[in-house]
Amino acid sequence: MAHITHSLGHDYEALHSSPTRLIRRAISCSSRRLILCCGVSGLLLFSTLFLFKRPPSFEDVRSYERRLPQHNLTEALHDTDLQPPGRRKYLRIEGGADTWEGGLNNVIQELTHTTYLAHRAKRAFVFSDFVWTNSRVPYKIYDRSLKPTKVPLNAFISGASAGGAVSDDASITMRSISLEFFDLVCPMNARVRLTARGAPINGEDGMILIEWWLKRLKDVENEPCVVLDFSHNHVFDWDYFGSRQPLTVFPHLKTSPTLTHFSWSPLVLSAVARNFAVLRPSDHRAVVSSQAHSGIGGLVAIHLRRGDFRGHCRYLGSTRASYLGLNQHENLPDKLHIDHRFSDEFIRTQHRRHCFPEINDIVEKLRQIRFESRVTPLKRVYVLSNGWPRWLSKLGEELRRDGWEDVINPADIKLDSKQDQVSVAVDMAIAERAEVFVGNGFSSVSANIIMLRLAKGMSYESNRFF
Ligand SMILES: *[C@@H]1O[C@H](CO)[C@@H](O)[C@H](O)[C@H]1NC(C)=O
């Protein structure tokens, strides 16, 4: 307090000084403020790091990406596997989910479509870092922990979209390249840019939008460096994946390298394998292999989004929203009926129960699913949730009382500091392997889990909704 009065006194005095003295004083004062400001922000940063534990760096993963075989300039400029030999061709997306800071699942949704588009146009896809935030700060607080601003994509996924194999032969011609390598092989003046102006973005059928892009890409088929600029008209964004448009694209994705060669990163898979004793697969291959079709027998994975979803679910009820995107697939057994004759009150209750189920709703639904299951007896539950530990342990108690042998909560999964940074993906990879998945029809996390399960050949019936 004494200091504040003191400096106020100085300012007051300055008012009565000569102009040069005034400026001199102003400078000394602002530099003092600057020091104070730096001190305070330094202290804040320090205490944040102290409180949250500094996140690990992913330099090893970045160096792995740099050394992928397709990142060789000589070969990229003269590929003898091409007919005729010449430059490889690339497709880069700008202004996509990484620019508008979409979460991991928005990024995965976009990647599936853009990688597919690149392959259809006979181009290698250009991947970039996963971006938690575009601001200049080095870290971002997310889901109660500190995240580095940018993470190499191969910390999360390593398949066709991230530079991994895109075919079963050894060819690297079509393998995705990093943005860093693209900048090297395609300097600014060599790039051709296409915008989304005039694209049929809000149609009913996603394939029409894909075909529109393919036609535009055909016009520039001889150009090695093509950029699609999504920054003015978001293309494969939140609206698109919320609508029915992806339903017509899915059958094509399912048989394209995008999904046939999709893979979680070795880091994510290592976390799944590390927890084999908790997941208890009867055949260990269910946790170590990405190809196993049968999954972890007897295990039901459930996705319960809590927290911010309470308000979101209320909003969805008020707009009479339907399930999003792929979750509306006609072969999925659980459907959401919305009839204009239903009263607002009825819709509100219905949406609350499906979107934000309470413990008794969850227990009841899982009892029904266990009863209907004809394959292996369902015995254990794996819970994916951002809910509070107390709520989760209450849920676990109720499920055990209802006859479930074991309930695995997020806290039961052991992760090291790097695996912890990709825990969303670890959860998804486990859900992808469970015999039955019960998701939230309004969630893109659930939609992506279902997409990956269906692409692996798991049955539609094994994907349920609350
Ligand atoms: C890149 O490819 C060329 C031609 O195949 C080869 O001679 C060179 O050693 C490669 N460079 C690296 C860094 O692997």
CA of 192 to the centre of ligand 1 (A): 27
Reported as a pLDDT band with limits 50, 70 and 90, residue 117 is very high
CA of 173 to the centre of ligand 1 (A): 15
Q: How far is CA 392 from the centre of its chain?
A: 24
Say if residue 464's pLDDT is above 60.
Answer: yes
Phi, psi of 127 (to 5 degrees): -100, 160
With left for phi above 0 and alpha for psi between -120 and 50, is residue 84 left, alpha or beta?
A: beta
Q: Which tops the pLDDT comparison, 295 or 393? A: 393
CA of 74 to the centre of ligand 1 (A): 7
Three-state secondary-structure class, residue 151:
strand
Report the distance separating Cα 441 and Cα 443, nearest Å: 6
Summarize the confidence of residues 291-314 as an average pLDDT.
Answer: 88
Residue nearest to atom 1 of ligand 1 (CA): 72
Reported as a pLDDT band with limits 50, 70 and 90, residue 39 is confident
Lowest-pLDDT choice from 34-38, 44-48, 274-278? 44-48
CA of 390 to the centre of ligand 1 (A): 57
CA of 73 to the centre of ligand 1 (A): 8
What pLDDT does residue 133 have?
Answer: 77
Summarize the confidence of residues 49-53 as an average pLDDT.
Answer: 64
Residue nearest to atom 6 of ligand 1 (CA): 74
What pLDDT does residue 419 have?
Answer: 96
Q: What is the number of the ligand 1 atom nearest to the C-alpha of 72?
A: 1
CB 130 within 8 A of CB 224: no
Residue nearest to atom 12 of ligand 1 (CA): 72
What pLDDT does residue 295 have?
Answer: 85
What pLDDT does residue 321 have?
Answer: 93
Residue nearest to atom 14 of ligand 1 (CA): 72
What pLDDT does residue 265 have?
Answer: 97
Residue nearest to atom 10 of ligand 1 (CA): 72
Name the amino acid, one letter, at 8: L
- With a Cβ cut-off of 6 Å, ligand 1 is lined by 72, 74-75
What pLDDT does residue 48 have?
Answer: 62
* Mean pLDDT, the chain, whole residue set: 89
Phi, psi of 300 (to 5 degrees): -110, 125
CA of 382 to the centre of ligand 1 (A): 47
H or E element in which residue 130 lies = strand 130-131
The domain 264-465 having CATH identifier 3.40.50.11350: the answer here is: yes
What pLDDT does residue 36 have?
Answer: 72
Summarize the confidence of residues 388-416 as an average pLDDT.
Answer: 96
Residue nearest to atom 3 of ligand 1 (CA): 74
Summarize the confidence of residues 335-348 as an average pLDDT.
Answer: 91
Residue nearest to atom 11 of ligand 1 (CA): 72
Q: How many residues does the chain have?
A: 466
Reported as a pLDDT band with limits 50, 70 and 90, residue 139 is confident
Q: What is the number of the ligand 1 atom nearest to the C-alpha of 73?
A: 1
CA of 68 to the centre of ligand 1 (A): 12
Report the distance separating Cα 37 and Cα 122, nearest Å: 53
* All structural domains of the chain with their residue ranges: 2-51, 59-260, 264-465
Other Cβ atoms closer than 10 A to 459: 13
Q: What is the number of the ligand 1 atom nearest to the C-alpha of 75?
A: 2
List, for residues 167-177, the tens digit of each pLDDT value: 999 899 999 99
CA of 72 to the centre of ligand 1 (A): 6
Reported as a pLDDT band with limits 50, 70 and 90, residue 16 is very low
What pLDDT does residue 367 have?
Answer: 97
Summarize the confidence of residues 104-112 as an average pLDDT.
Answer: 95
Tokens of 254: 């399912």
Reported as a pLDDT band with limits 50, 70 and 90, residue 12 is very low
Instruction: Give the pairing of strands 145-148 and 139-142.
Output: antiparallel
CA of 88 to the centre of ligand 1 (A): 15
Which of 67, 71, 72 is the best mutation target for the ligand 1 pocket, counting ligand atoms within 8 Å of the beta carbon and taking the most?
72
Tracing tokens 């944040």 back to the chain, one arrives at: 48
CA of 69 to the centre of ligand 1 (A): 9
Q: Using a cut of 0.75, tell me whether the model's pTM lies above it.
A: yes
What pLDDT does residue 182 have?
Answer: 98
What pLDDT does residue 24 have?
Answer: 54
CB 426 within 8 A of CB 268: yes
Instruction: Give the pairing of strands 150-151 and 130-131.
Output: antiparallel
Say if residue 29's pLDDT is above 70.
Answer: no
CA of 116 to the centre of ligand 1 (A): 29
Other Cβ atoms closer than 10 A to 440: 25
What pLDDT does residue 37 have?
Answer: 66
Say if residue 406's pLDDT is above 60.
Answer: yes
CA of 71 to the centre of ligand 1 (A): 10
CA of 87 to the centre of ligand 1 (A): 15
Say if residue 14's pLDDT is above 50.
Answer: no
- Give the residue among 263, 323, 256, 309 at the shortest CA–CA distance from 290: 263
Q: Which tops the pLDDT comparison, 153 or 286? A: 153
Residue nearest to atom 7 of ligand 1 (CA): 74
Reported as a pLDDT band with limits 50, 70 and 90, residue 101 is confident
- Give the residue among 80, 116, 110, 75 at the shortest CA–CA distance from 255: 116
Q: Residue 153: is it exposed, middle or buried by C-beta count within 10 angstroms (0-12/13-18/19+)?
A: buried
Say if residue 15's pLDDT is above 50.
Answer: no
Which of 63, 66, 71, 74 is the best mutation target for the ligand 1 pocket, counting ligand atoms within 8 Å of the beta carbon and taking the most?
74
What pLDDT does residue 46 have?
Answer: 64
Say if residue 10's pLDDT is above 70.
Answer: no
List, for residues 184-226, the tens digit of each pLDDT value: 999 999 999 999 999 998 888 999 999 999 999 999 999 999 9
With left for phi above 0 and alpha for psi between -120 and 50, is residue 53 left, alpha or beta?
A: left
Residue nearest to atom 13 of ligand 1 (CA): 72
Summarize the confidence of residues 404-432 as an average pLDDT.
Answer: 95
Say if residue 3's pLDDT is above 80.
Answer: no
